[in-house]
Chain A
């Protein structure tokens, strides 16, 4: 459980994005729609991954990406897993919000994908699921399937689950500047019951990821879970940065 395996072209890291595109994602957050902010953040982290995979003009396939956008049903946006050098040619897709919030179905798709992939991932960094939502699930409770996923893994560590909760009011107290924000360390700080649920299904941030995040200027501290309050553009950007913080060679 060291989370020290580095992402290389022969041992790439698998990152699965589960993005809520329910109707509520068309609501405004500041001067932009929530879905647009998510697209921008995804674009940013994709650029960062490309930069981290690029040596000269050569893009090494250090990251493998899958994107599931979900509402009442789940959409496989990339049509399977794509390496970063394939992804770079097509760019970040656009999302059109609609429908409900079937969170459990999205995690079930991720579980199926992991079941297919994990057998080939010895020596690879532990996969990461980055789940972004702006509201409580409809239908089945996703907790059981997430717990099953969190028990899967590679010799490097269990599958990491990160949750980004976009909402106006998640924490009881204001969030300090991001270079001083230690992360959410106490359930009691959360002002929202669903946020507490998400906290329980978020992995602790591994030491190696913390180091990478500190390189980006974030002040997250050891022990914080991979739960991020998406109350502003900057917080959402930080959360997506975490999804690409696997150490690279």
Chain B
């Protein structure tokens, strides 16, 4: 079964995180929105997605063009499509021609119409000033645009396939920290993918390269700026300090970095794998995801696929007191309520246990169900990697109070009956001894 695509959320910052995957390979990523975007609590326009199984890692990083119509639309759409495309890509070729041909055909193919439909379906707040709405409608006609870097690391064949359009960057680092040349690479700002026309101002470049001599591969958006050369010595602390520094810069831009460390080695014995999560199948009455805690898990990843744009959310294994309304920790494990779409449609969910020092557990068996109807959408605070999910419908407080009162009343009546019955029983047993 194809593993789910893992997405890093665009609606908040994700501090530098490491995920060990069988290989062993360490995947490190960080995501930060620009200062203006943070202040407005808007979506970031960079996008990170990846998918892995033992021996294979596919990744896509996209940088939505802010001058286009909601660059995050193109970034997310294209990132997901590219992962699917490269995951299926297999070739014995010794050059990148097959990948280049596949990409150019796909980038100008059916994806354009699909993304164009998303662009034309995008709701613009009607209360915006007329001049702003006019400007946005003009942008809509020009479409949503993104730059991208996509690749797949095949650990069995020891090959990297890489392709890109635009001014994002990929680096191949030697063990001594020197950058290896990427033959044929072009990082041109003008080149991008558009929901209106497909490839714009040129074609992507594609590269096939043996993994020999590569210690780690780093891909990032242009928001990293002049810090890029420092990524040769990549660490979580460095990534967090770069995002903090860049947030102070006048031209603060969204930042996304994704690193694949091919040289990681366990220091204390082999890495183990977390147990597999088992999800209790939701029923018509109880439309929530439930699973029991698995040993050593510090967080869980929930993959949600409604057949359009799949996403993942991460949940801390130890929830804080301000746990999000859609996630509950119970003595037996976790309950996650998922959203309903405007048109209720079934979703397929899988759950995976994670921690920072072992391999993630295998994905749970998928469960498919239609989430309970929920009126208003919200972003679940407190989840790592949350996506827009709907607030579960709560029972009205008044109803709850009435139910509590009835319970107390019934309890009192029962107590009175027991006392009276006890008194009668006592009287019957001791009838002859009663004073007359």
Contacts and interface: CB of A to CB of B under 8 A. Distances in A.
A249 B71 contact: no
B121 interface: no
A52 B42 contact: no
B14 interface: no
Interface stretch (A7-15, A31-39, A101-109, A144-152): A7-15
B196 to A, nearest CB: 15
B396 interface: no
A141 B131 CA distance: 37
Given A8-B250, A54-B139, A249-B253, A88 B132 contact: yes
B216 to A, nearest CB: 29
B129 A51 contact: no
Interface string B302-339: 00000000000000000000000000000000000000
B136 A54 contact: yes
Contacts of A92: 131
A78 interface: no
Interface in B33-60: 34-37, 40, 42-43, 45
B125 A57 contact: yes
Interface string A36-76: 00000000001100111011111110000000000000000
Interface of B: 34-37, 40, 42-43, 45, 66-67, 70-72, 124-125, 128-132, 134-136, 138-139, 250-253
Interface string A110-135: 00000000000001000000000000
A55 B138 contact: no
A51 B137 CA distance: 10
Contacts of A58: 36-37, 40, 42
Contacts of B134: 47
Nearest to A53: B135
Nearest to A61: B36
Given A6-B251, A10-B250, A59-B132, A47 B66 contact: no
10 contacts: A6-B251, A52-B67, A55-B71, A56-B70, A57-B125, A88-B129, A91-B129, A248-B67, A249-B250, A249-B253
Given A8-B250, A123-B250, A56 B129 contact: no
A57 B42 contact: yes
A55 B36 contact: yes
Contacts, number: 66
A172 interface: no
Given A56-B45, A249-B251, 17 more contacts: A9-B35, A9-B36, A10-B250, A11-B250, A47-B138, A50-B132, A51-B135, A51-B136, A56-B70, A57-B42, A57-B124, A57-B132, A57-B136, A58-B37, A60-B36, A91-B130, A248-B67
A54 B132 contact: yes
A194 to B, nearest CB: 34
A91 B132 CA distance: 10
B41 to A, nearest CB: 9
Nearest to A47: B135
A210 to B, nearest CB: 16
B42 A56 contact: yes
Contacts of A55: 34, 36-37, 42, 45, 66, 71
A80 B35 CA distance: 27
A168 B158 CA distance: 70
Contacts of B130: 91
A56 B252 CA distance: 16
Q: How large is the interface on A (under 10, 10 to 19, 20 to 34, 35 or more residues)?
A: 20 to 34
A50 B36 contact: no
A248 B43 CA distance: 20
A54 B135 contact: yes
A46 B131 contact: yes
Nearest to B125: A57
Contacts of A54: 132, 135-136, 139
A77 B145 CA distance: 37
Pick from B34, B36, B43, B130 the residue with the most CB of A within 10 Å: B36
A248 B135 CA distance: 17
Contacts of B139: 51, 54
Contact of B43 (A11, A56, A123): A56
Contacts of A9: 35-36
Nearest to B248: A10
A57 B128 contact: yes
A56 B140 CA distance: 11
B253 A47 contact: no
A46 B135 CA distance: 9
Contacts of B128: 57
A6 B222 CA distance: 15
Nearest to A48: B135
A57 B70 CA distance: 8
A57 B43 CA distance: 10
B135 A50 contact: yes
A209 B229 CA distance: 30
Contacts of B66: 55
B189 to A, nearest CB: 11
A246 to B, nearest CB: 13
Contacts of B45: 55-56
Contacts of B35: 9-10
B72 A50 contact: no
A98 B300 CA distance: 71
Nearest to A91: B131
A51 B141 CA distance: 12
Contacts of B125: 57
Contacts of B138: 47, 51
A54 B136 CA distance: 8
Contacts of A51: 67, 135-136, 138-139
A47 B130 CA distance: 10
A57 B41 CA distance: 11
Interface in A79-105: 88-89, 91-92
Contacts of B37: 55-56, 58
Of the candidates B66, B136, B138, the one having the most CB atoms from chain A within 10 angstroms of its own CB is B66
A13 to B, nearest CB: 12
Contacts of B135: 47, 50-51, 54
